[in-house]
Amino acid sequence: MVRRSGKPTTQEKFLGLVLEATTTVVEILQANGIQCAVFGSLASKLYGSPRDPQDVDILVFQDTRTPETQILSTEELKQLIYRTRPGDFYLKDPRDQEATYKILIYRPSPSAHRPARTMKQIIRLPDPECKVDILIPGTMYLPHLRPELVQWHQVEATESRRLRARIANAIPLVPFSLLLVHKLQGWDDNRKHEESYKRDRRHKDAKDVKRLLNLTAPVKALVERGADTWNDTELFSEELQELTVQRVRDFVQEFPGLAIKWAELGFGVGQA
């Protein structure tokens, strides 16, 4: 993930910040009996994609089997995280003044890893921070994951020292199949968006999908599992399955060189 020698680069330092934010959120949620898994660009990075994430996306799934369990909304989860570590998180309003949600930001308090800075230093270069997005099942077709479906990325102690960040020994990730489908969904949503700045993001989204398709180990595992992977209604609703089939065809139409990759994964890309 990082270079073996020398001081961490600016990019590596920010990656350390993102991983530290993830570790902190996971610890807070688990301490409250709440399970979660990372998805989005950070999950892509931890599966092996080269692009560095700019924020954290976390899928939170709460136990709905016991009636007495209080199910928290997205905003209540953000408040829980903020109240638990107010020195490391803050909530800010979005640009849309009519919006009813808050944005959760991780900005760690001074520590051994990040000593306190003078006001002059802060004015010249603000303290680093990153956004933490909290999502719950049902949003964007995201499923309720059983704990045994969560994949754990092991982090070496040397990596934490190298990045000068406090990172957990293991970070929970969504299954690779779910990550790939949702990256493809992001590409499709943005290319059809009415706002031009959103449509412009489709190029970055397409690159993200291509990078995932080029990851040898996780893609090989999906190929070995066969086409039934995509029929798993626990991960993919019937509506999402239908959308994914069409999205793959649209992606191949725009990037025909990847038809073989999708076919190996079990998609009938040659059908009209």
Q: What is the dihedral of CA 68, 74, 75, 80, to 10 degrees?
A: 60
138, 173, 208 — which closes off a domain? 173
Give the domain extent around 254.
Answer: 176-264
Judge if 99 and 165 occupy the same domain: yes
State the pLDDT at residue 123.
Answer: 47
Tell me how far CA of residue 199 lies from CA of 108, 114, 126, 193, in angstroms. Answer: 33, 38, 30, 6
158, 173, 188 — which closes off a domain? 173
State the pLDDT at residue 155.
Answer: 86
Kindly state the helix (H) or strand (E) to which residue 35 belongs, with its residue range. Answer: strand 35-39
173, 194, 216 — which closes off a domain? 173
Judge if 23 and 51 occupy the same domain: yes
Judge if 28 and 158 occupy the same domain: yes
Regarding pTM above 0.85, the answer is yes
State the pLDDT at residue 224.
Answer: 94
**For the chain (length 272 residues), average pLDDT per consecutive 10?**
65 90 95 95 96 96 76 96 94 91 90 57 66 96 94 84 79 98 97 93 96 97 92 95 96 96 88 45
Beta carbons within 8 Å of 4's beta carbon, 6+ residues apart: none
Backbone angles phi, psi at 87, to 5 degrees: -80, -15
State the pLDDT at residue 174.
Answer: 98
Say whether 260 sits in a helix, a strand or coil.
helix
